[in-house]
Structures are given as C-alpha cells and as structure tokens.
Structure 1
C-alpha cells in the first residue's frame, strides 16, 4: 500500500475498543480508511481492572484495523476520560522570540508550556492544555495568534489533569500491546469537536456521551469548556435489566437489546416476537417487542432523569439554552429521542459521525479524536511500512515526538 501518512486513534471503552485509521492527504485533510473493533475486556465503568485482558482487547482491535488497511500500526493517540479527570484554570505569558515580532508556532507552544507551570498534588498529572483565549499586547479574545505582530503573548487556558495511577495503567496496557503513544487526548473535548456547533457552545450546551458502562457529561458556556463529570450508568444497566426480566444470559440479553430493543413502548409492536432461552430450563419462551420495551423504557427514563439531576448538581442549569446533545452507543436504540425529549425537553438532538460506514453514535469518540487532531495541526501519528520510504509532510512547528516529550515528563 503506497499511502503516506496516518493518524491512529484508540478509544478504550467499557464495552468496545475501537481503533480508527485516518489517512492524511496532501492538502491537510483526513480521510478515514479503516476501523478495528473488539469486545472490551478487563474494563469496568471506564477503568482498567485487568491489564492482561485489556491488552488482549487492544491487540485484537489493532489487528483488525491492520488487516483492513494493510499497514502496521505502531503509534496511537489515546482518549482519556473518567471521574478522575478535573479542570483547572491557568495563565501563561511569554515574550515573542522572533526579531520581526511575528508570532510563530514555537511562540504558541512556549506560552502553552508556560501555562502548564501550576502547583499540582503529587498524585496528579497534566493530560492536556486547552486554550480559552490568547492575548497579544493586551488585545484579548484571540483564538489563533499565529502570524500576528506583537511583543507579549499570553494565554488563558484550562488545564486538564488526571490521576497518575489510572493514567499509568492506561499507558501500561497500550505499551504491553506493542504500541507507542503519540499523545493522550481528553476524550470529551475531542467528541465535542465532532458533535457540537459553535452556536451551541456559545449559548450553553450539555453533551452526554452514553456508553456501555458510564455516561460522560460535558458542559460548555460562552464557547468554552466549563465542566465535566461521569455518571456510572450506561447500556450495561439496560442489558442487566433485560437479563433479569427475561431470565436469560447476559450475552443473549445484549443480542436481544441490539436486535429488537425499542426505547419507547409507544413505538413497540406487540405482534413482533422472538424466542428467548430461559436460564434453568431447556425450553424457549416467546417474548414480544412490547414486553421488551416495558423493561427498557423505565431504565432509559431513569438515565435521562439522572443526567438532568447531575447537571444541576454540577452547578449548571438543567435547561441549557443550547439544549442537550446526546451521543454514544446507547443512542443507537430505536426511538430513544422520544424518551429523551420527555425527560430533557424538546431541545435535544442525537449526534453521529458523518463518515461513510461509521454513522453510529458509538464511533464518535474515535472519529472525534481524528478531527480534533486535524484541527490542531498534528501532522502524523503512525506510518505504513512500505518497501520505499514514505513522503513526509512539512511539519508546522514541533514534531509529534517533541510535543509529547514535555507531556511524558509529567510521569518521570
């Protein structure tokens, strides 16, 4: 395969591990050319509880992606989220280094590094620095100062930090799977790049990423990330309810949920039936889609009710002007939007990737990371191993390795 450059994202979820392979084109755009998925093992509520099983899942997803694209994957960007993550404001100041006082990428990188210099407890580490605004010689509200003329460059930033132990375990799993880490990305921020519009962020919006084991809430106001939290509920709770209600195995309950599940009794059919193997009996029983919806709907209603309560507990309005944007694997449940509107209000929509073959909400994490990296000018995460050396793009500013050196220093 004669492709030149790739960005690889790794999304380690509670139910699925997903690897997305995107080719970087000559004009700087990206095109997704492959995806690898595997059932997530060794994970519970977004945290690693068995390293060996997690490594096996990562390796299976990577092997799947390698076979699809025909390349050897050696370097990935990893998404990070969870209740251990917290946000902290910071400010950085540097003098513009060039003689002509034109602000370059090195100056921007230096001021972001200056913002990293904050007092942190020894058990915490910086995951990412998110600029809110740049200030050039007192002129504020600048989103991209590159190419501007000035003497003093400042930045107001949000520092995303996490628990070192949890991050170390994540690093350990990825490295044991035979991969090197190009960088770690705060996953809710990457998902927001894909799912939220500028107007929604400015008005004030709550994004809920409802996965298999957890629901991640991300709040934006006046265009900026202002809060994030994780609720330990997800699609697994619906599966467990089905398993208990129908007295069947968890694997069978998951299959039934995906194939016949409807979120609203109003839209379920009593005529559509299916067979269920009952635990403790050799016989199968006939169950209708309406009976299944009677189990699913109350749990989904409870999930949306908890989301609204949690947003209020975070100190934000549970009726944001920009409404609620929902994504994640659970949002693939048929007619779930109707239940969401009853619980959260009419200003609710479901966000899905627009890429061909990946239009399910469960792919927003991996695809969001690709878009997030492209927007920030990260040129390359991994390369193919062709017979001839690949063409390299001219990098703007520091290379990926240089960008990651400072990040890795947090763990040394």
Structure 2
C-alpha cells in the first residue's frame, strides 16, 4: 500500500446525497478531507427513480466535497440499499488428496468456490462474499487454515445479493455525471465499519441504520457476520403517517416529527396539545401530544419488529446489544422502543472519531458515507474477511464492466 491513498464514498439516500473524500494512511488511520451533502431528490426507499434530479443534486454535493478537500473526484465507492437486498450464509466443503499433508492456498480457493456457488434469483447479482470462518475436520473458528493438517476444509461465507437492474441503474446514473464506480457496497456493511468496533462484533452486536426510506441492518456473532438486510421503511414513512393522521402537509409533518415528536406516548396529559401553524403563523391543525407520539411509536416499533423477525435465532447472542445509527435514530425515545422490542442494551451511535471529521459529521446520519472510506481502506489492505467483489464468481465487477 502506498504512503497514503485518497478515496471518495458516495451515498445516494432517500433524505440526502452525500459525498465523502478521505485519505487512508499507511498506519491504518483515515483522515476525512471533505464532506459534501445536499437534500435528496429523485430517490424513493433508497432507490433512484429520476436520474436527472439525482444527478443535479449529486453535482452539488460533489462541489461541496471537492472544495475543502482540494481533490478532483473521478472515482467513487458507491453505497446502495433497497428492499431488494438479500443475504444468506453458505458453507462449502473440500476434501484434501489422500497423500496430502497440509492445507494449501489452492485448497482454500476450492472450498471458497464451492461456498460461493449458491443459487440466487436469476435477476440478482452478488454484492458481497464475506468470509465468516474456516472449519478444519469439524473444528470451527479457524481464521488461517493454510499450513494446518487436516482432511476436510470448509469455508463459511456470508453472501449479499440484490436485483441486477436496480444496482445497474444506480451505477449508470453515477457514470453519467460522469464518475467511475470503483466498487458497489451495501450501506449497512459500510456503516458497520465505523459504528461497531472489534470488541462489539466479537461480543455480538446488531447495527440498524435507519434512514429516510430504509432500515439497513447487519448482525455480528463471535466477530462474524450472521445476518444482514434491508427493511424498506424509514423516517419518511413516519412523516407520512403524521401527515395523514394530523391532516397536514408533509413538510409540516417532518418539522413536527423532529421538533415536537417522541416515540414515547405513555403518561402524557390529554391537555398537552401540539399546534401546527402555516408560514403566516395561522394555526392549521392541532392534536394531543400523546396521539402524535403514538403515531411515531407504532411505525418505529414496526421497523424494529421486522428486523427482529429477520434476525430470529440470533438476538439472544448479542452481548454488546443493539446499535442505532442513521438520521432517524435521532428521534426522541427511539432507544426505549428498541430496548422494549429486542430486550437488549441499546446504544445510539454515530461514526467513531475519525481525523478530519468535525462534530457535525460525527452525527449518525453520516455513518454510512464515512464508512465507505473505511471499507475502501479495508479492501486496499486486503483483509481476509472482506473479499473484494472483483474476486467473485458471478461478479459485480462483471456487471460494472458492461454498464454503458
């Protein structure tokens, strides 16, 4: 690895489009050189629905990131999400030759290929193939099998995949800016790189990144990814619920959610009334605070219940608990609801302190874009448990090469 390398991460989210420029140093640290963000347009539930609107906002965010960093951005690591993102765990077994004494690199590659040879929907493409562990003659938890004696080697993988067309559209939209896409990354994987430390992953932790249109999650057990995915619900759905319940415009509902709302509705007086005014100061609606908070609570609880259902069988192993990040994690009382649903310790977290990041960008809504820089650094260092997409069988790299 060179003395330092400059990377750019791009998150096209439902609420914002964010570009981060970071310097990965030889000692393993990273320094954020610039962050550009602009309110999102043309994105619904984490997926691009209007190229032109997205590209206009993206160009604005690019300028804001390039100016302080003094870097001309040409290539990005692109974060993607959406309800189409799925995952599974797969294990491949390889029997060594009878006269063979030790496991070789070729044996490891054979076991890997068998593990990766799984059936996914025909219209899907692999996003990530992440090594969980190796098993040698039934002994689990082996991190480096080469040189060990054994007869049967198994490779245990966590595989993440998504709809080819939707991912291809995101890549095409970015390339038309024009920017080259170095790699495509599921945003939960990126966010986890700066939200969860090694100890939390080893103890068992579930990170939920709740944005405007989606709730992305990744669960670790014994330092290994056990589950990941995306629930297509987020803060914008809460806003829409408020708008319908109180009968006010979405813009006022968003303001009401942020300034007056909470996820806790018990023990509130019926005389505690929230009033909504228009731009001229005239009252256009009012409701009991308990009613407003119950509307928020119900949707937040639904999000957590869906994540819990998808992670069934793993929740009891989360000694480090639940980590909430993303802009919607700033809602008052959201940690209380999460604790009630998961019955585990809950931590609200932004990105871990990173050189060059001001307090503004350590907020939870920037975990994923800053995490893209950390992810890029990990790939560059060729960490054995985060395999580059370019090494996959049914490659995302192949997909990138054919996008016009």
TM-score, normalization by structure 1: 0.76
What is the Cα deviation at residue 348 of structure 1? 1.6
Q: 1:121 to 1:275 in 2, by over 3 A?
A: closer
Alignment of 1:119-268 (within 5 A): 119-134=119-134, 141-143=141-143, 149=147, 155-198=155-198, 200-265=200-265
Q: Is the 8 A contact 2:40 2:57 kept in 1?
A: yes
Mapped partners of 1:52, 1:111: distance in 2? 45
SS in 2 for 1:334: coil
What is the Cα deviation at residue 24 of structure 1? 1.9
Q: Is the 8 A contact 2:8 2:77 kept in 1?
A: yes
What root-mean-square deviation, in Å, do the aligned CA atoms of Structure 1 and Structure 2 show? 4.1
Name which of structure 1's ranges 178-187 and 208-217 shifts more when overlaid on structure 2: 208-217
Mapped partners of 2:289, 2:61: distance in 1? 31
Q: 1:21 to 1:378 in 2, by over 3 A?
A: farther
Who is 1:300 aligned against?
297
What is the Cα deviation at residue 170 of structure 1? 1.1
Q: 1:354 to 1:297 in 2, by over 3 A?
A: farther
Q: Is the 8 A contact 2:19 2:37 kept in 1?
A: yes
The one of 353, 363, 368 equivalent to 2:366 is: 363
Residue 32 of structure 1 pairs with residue 32 of structure 2 = yes
Name which of structure 1's ranges 301-310 and 228-237 shifts more when overlaid on structure 2: 301-310
What is the Cα deviation at residue 225 of structure 1? 2.2
Residue 375 of structure 1 pairs with residue 372 of structure 2 = no
What is the Cα deviation at residue 230 of structure 1? 2.7
Residue 351 of structure 1 pairs with residue 354 of structure 2 = no
Give the total of aligned pairs.
380
Deviations 1:1-44 (A, max 9, x none): xx963111111211111112111224342111211112222211
Mapped partners of 2:297, 2:180: distance in 1? 39
TM-score, normalization by structure 2: 0.77
Mapped partners of 1:42, 1:273: distance in 2? 32
Who is 1:328 aligned against?
326
Q: Is the 8 A contact 1:262 1:268 kept in 2?
A: no
Who is 1:277 aligned against?
278
Who is 1:44 aligned against?
44
What is the Cα deviation at residue 67 of structure 1? 2.0
Q: Is the 8 A contact 2:127 2:389 kept in 1?
A: no
Q: Is the 8 A contact 2:15 2:40 kept in 1?
A: yes
Who is 1:86 aligned against?
86
Q: 1:43 to 1:109 in 2, by over 3 A?
A: farther
Mapped partners of 2:40, 2:316: distance in 1? 34
SS in 2 for 1:82: coil
Q: Is the 8 A contact 2:91 2:154 kept in 1?
A: no
Mapped partners of 1:60, 1:181: distance in 2? 18
Name which of structure 1's ranges 299-308 and 364-373 shifts more when overlaid on structure 2: 299-308
What stretches of structure 1 of length at least 5 have no aligned partner? 96-100, 380-395
SS in 2 for 1:5: strand
Mapped partners of 1:401, 1:204: distance in 2? 26
What is the Cα deviation at residue 277 of structure 1? 0.6
Q: Is the 8 A contact 2:17 2:61 kept in 1?
A: yes
Q: Is the 8 A contact 1:326 1:348 kept in 2?
A: yes
Mapped partners of 1:205, 1:59: distance in 2? 36
Who is 2:99 aligned against?
none
Q: Is the 8 A contact 1:301 1:343 kept in 2?
A: no
Q: Is the 8 A contact 1:80 1:186 kept in 2?
A: yes
Mapped partners of 1:13, 1:136: distance in 2? 42
Mapped partners of 1:102, 1:52: distance in 2? 53
